[in-house]
Amino acid sequence: KKQYRIAVIPGDGIGKEVMPEGLRVIEAAAKKHGVDVKFDHFDFASYDYYEKHGEMMPADWKDKIGKHDAIYFGAVGWPAKIPDHVSLWGSLIKFRREFDQYVNLRPVRLMPGVPSPLANRKPGDIDFWVVRENTEGEYSSVGGRMFPDTDREFVTQQTVMTRTGVDRILKFAFDLAQSRPKKHLTSATKSNGISITMPYWDERVETMAKNYPGVKWDKYHIDILTANFVLHPDWFDVVVGSNLFGDILSDLGPACTGTIGIAPSGNINPEGDFPSVFEPVHGSAPDIAGQGIANPIGMIWSGAMMLEHLGEKQAADAIVGAIERTLGERTLRTRDLGGNADTTACGKAVAEMV
Amino acid sequence: KKQYRIAVIPGDGIGKEVMPEGLRVIEAAAKKHGVDVKFDHFDFASYDYYEKHGEMMPADWKDKIGKHDAIYFGAVGWPAKIPDHVSLWGSLIKFRREFDQYVNLRPVRLMPGVPSPLANRKPGDIDFWVVRENTEGEYSSVGGRMFPDTDREFVTQQTVMTRTGVDRILKFAFDLAQSRPKKHLTSATKSNGISITMPYWDERVETMAKNYPGVKWDKYHIDILTANFVLHPDWFDVVVGSNLFGDILSDLGPACTGTIGIAPSGNINPEGDFPSVFEPVHGSAPDIAGQGIANPIGMIWSGAMMLEHLGEKQAADAIVGAIERTLGERTLRTRDLGGNADTTACGKAVAEMV
Ligand SMILES: CC(C)[C@H](C(=O)O)[C@@H](O)C(=O)O
Ligand SMILES: CC(C)[C@H](C(=O)O)[C@@H](O)C(=O)O
């Protein structure tokens, strides 16, 4: 029987506070469902590490975590102390690129007991996936500045879409849509305004769709698509977008389901050549760090996604079920959801219900 | 006393149906407030014109409409018959570029009688402006495709931000914020992911802010900003964004206030070197065109923005007041808002209340 080796990286701020709860719940589910997990802890990819060593990660970071079955990640970044391009590009975005985690996968699901900011929506009404391209597109590093400090100054930055990059994310999204009862894929575009890259995206969607006759697909320009997330969240099943559009939709979607504090995500390398990273959608939240009040559900739910990715669906489902039951009970929720539990109490509650 | 000459371009689809109502209401307000307006009608910038002439506009279009005080525009585009890059880039986007309409201005306001998709929001809670850069940024025409039809195929498209282009839109936005009671400006960015152009945008915001010590300003990454439109629409006063971010926010904002069917917009050349274009946010809506059921409020409200731009604030306010009263009365609204008026009945109702 396989032992899974998980690299654990709490990172910064509330990442360090929610991580123990994530581990607690994974351990409970693993025990109950006979899954063998071993955790290896790492302190890099954090401001503390940077302060001590002058860099976000050791030179041999790939040797240290590149052979693990998955990486369980808290949150990174502390804008007041360290610029984002150092902290994020030196860790999270580096993982995505160098471990070729070309899928960023996030559920948008209205959970029981969580009030939606949308009027008259109840659990079951909103339940879809956002599939985001995670390695290229608008997040390129090609561009620069000319005529600095003059009136003629300008900057450019290229969006880059490769056939390889676009096709593989579309294939993942169509496969996911085909596996679901509704078999419906929505593509985010903006080909009426962004006149070169976005028509190319559309072209590849049309080509890929031919391989999936059983999948109904449609496309919306990103402007009206964000509007439809608010007006008709029940229209969606699987939504696929470029790096930027996927980023936007996977914050907006969780907001429509009440809070980004509980949303999980996976940065996935589907071929398994490299470990995938599972992390809550929320950041390190310097404003509430150190108080023990952060909501651990995003971290815990990310643990469920990780177990599912590893093939341990039973243990994963047990965690999601425990989350649903915990959220349903007023007192066991954290304050951001109107409860009065602290981070640990909420984590323990989920662990007990697993 | 000045006579205003307005170029009237109904365009396609429901543009042709809502335009007469817009004109009706402007005429009523002009009469009441002693404003002298003359309308010149043009049939170009439409599919019908394209079908007859093989182009969207005559070669001398600038001579025909370039000296008018403003352009009152319906909607253009009919994707099933004509590609967007022909119809939109051949008219609307051409106006924006060649008439240097570098400001796209859109109110986000929850109106009386219009149900918001957001829970527990009432008129007064949501009332802000989106200021969008309208000539450069992500809507560039620089880029291309390499290695076509091979596995190595890729496309690139540059985002271009010039000092001139960024500074002038920021100045407009800061001026607007300064003129409002809350004096609050929010900038849309994504400098943590889009690592060249967006940090430049942030840099220019910081520099411009020094000229406006009385304006409180903040910035959000576009992902969490869209989330905050849904979770905290009451936080905003003036929101400024690049061409793409402004496009997204000015569809999402109106959606949060119930419908993009009533939202107006101005494509403004603040210096007055060229005419500005006023148009509803909605498109030509081929699916409901020809039925006489389109909501004319977006067109009518755009007329009010046009009058205000011309300096006729009294007449403009009269129209906005009439819109508010009409929306408040169930029967006078169109079906998209749960009323039972058709386009003409709704337009007449507003005209009578002016
Ligand atoms: C039609 C399209 C090109 C246009 C835009 O993206 O600018 C529209 O969405 C708008 O907001 O006016
Ligand atoms: C922190 C930031 C660079 C990141 C992104 O934009 O990818 C975050 O928003 C996310 O969605 O994981």
Do B68 and B131 have their domain in common?
Answer: no
CA–CA distances in Å: residue B64 to residues B11, B42, B238: 16, 9, 35
Do B143 and B246 have their domain in common?
Answer: yes
How much is the pLDDT for B259? 85
Strand pairing report for B127-133 and B103-109? antiparallel
- Give chain A positions within 8 Å (CB) of B267: none
Tens of pLDDT, residues B135-144? 999 999 899 9
Do B51 and B138 have their domain in common?
Answer: no
CB distance A306 to A266 below 8 Å: yes
Tell me whether B256 touches chain A (CB under 8 Å). yes
| Interchain CB distance below 8 Å, A115 and B116 | no
- Residue A3: which domain range? 1-98+288-354
Do B298 and B251 have their domain in common?
Answer: no
Those residues of chain A that have pLDDT short of 70 are none
Instruction: Please tell me the distance in Å from A316's CA to the nearest CA on chain B.
Output: 28
Locate A198 and state its tokens. 């976005």
Q: Which phi and psi (to 5°) does residue A295 adopt?
A: -80, 120
Rounded CA gap, B18 and B336, in Å?
A: 14
Cα of A250 to ligand 2 centre, how many Å?
10
Q: Is A290 left (phi over 0), alpha (psi -120 to 50) or beta?
A: left
Looking up residue B213, the CATH number of its domain turns out to be 3.40.718.10
Do B89 and B198 have their domain in common?
Answer: no
Q: Which phi and psi (to 5°) does residue A208 adopt?
A: -65, -35
Residue B191 counted as domain residue:
yes
Q: Is B220 left (phi over 0), alpha (psi -120 to 50) or beta?
A: beta
CB distance B302 to B264 below 8 Å: yes
pLDDT tens string for chain B (354 positions)?
A: 799 999 999 999 999 999 999 999 999 999 999 999 999 999 999 999 999 999 999 999 999 999 999 999 999 999 999 998 899 999 999 999 999 999 999 999 999 989 899 998 999 899 999 999 999 999 998 999 999 999 999 999 999 999 999 999 999 999 999 999 999 999 999 999 999 999 999 999 999 999 999 999 999 999 999 999 999 999 999 999 999 999 999 999 999 999 888 999 999 999 999 999 999 999 999 999 999 999 999 999 999 999 999 999 999 999 999 999 999 888 889 998 988 899 999 999 999 999
Neighbouring residues of B215: CB distance < 8 A, sequence distance ≥ 6? B174, B177, B178, B183, B184, B185, B209
| Interchain CB distance below 8 Å, B224 and A139 | no
What is the count of structural domains for chain A? 1
- Give chain A positions within 8 Å (CB) of B228: 255
Q: What angle do CA B299, B301, B306 make, to 5 degrees?
A: 95
Nearest-atom number in ligand 1 for the CA of B279 is 12
Residue A259 counted as domain residue:
no
How much is the pLDDT for B341? 94
Residue A280 counted as domain residue:
no
Which of B136, B158, B189, B337 to mutate against chain A (most A CBs within 10 Å)?
B158
Tens of pLDDT, residues A306-323? 999 999 999 999 999 999
Locate B35 and state its tokens. 């404003």
Do B193 and B306 have their domain in common?
Answer: no
Do B251 and B142 have their domain in common?
Answer: yes
Do B335 and B306 have their domain in common?
Answer: yes
Rounded CA gap, B305 and B316, in Å?
A: 7
Do B241 and B342 have their domain in common?
Answer: no
Residues pairing with B277 in the sheet: B71, B267
The burial class, CB within 10 Å (0-12 / 13-18 / 19+), for B335 is: middle
Contact residues, B window 52-81, toward A, CB-based 8 Å cutoff: 77
Residue A187 counted as domain residue:
no
| Interchain CB distance below 8 Å, A226 and B248 | yes
Tell me whether A235 touches chain B (CB under 8 Å). no
Which ligand gives the minimal distance to the CA of A92? Answer: 2
Ligand 2 residue neighbourhood (C-beta within 6 Å):
A 88, 247; B 192-193, 223
Rounded CA gap, A277 and A6, in Å?
A: 10
Residue B119 counted as domain residue:
no
Rounded CA gap, A25 and A292, in Å?
A: 17
Rounded CA gap, A90 and A72, in Å?
A: 17
CA–CA distances in Å: residue B270 to residues A245, B66, B105, B134: 31, 15, 11, 12
Do B87 and B132 have their domain in common?
Answer: no
Length of chain A: 354
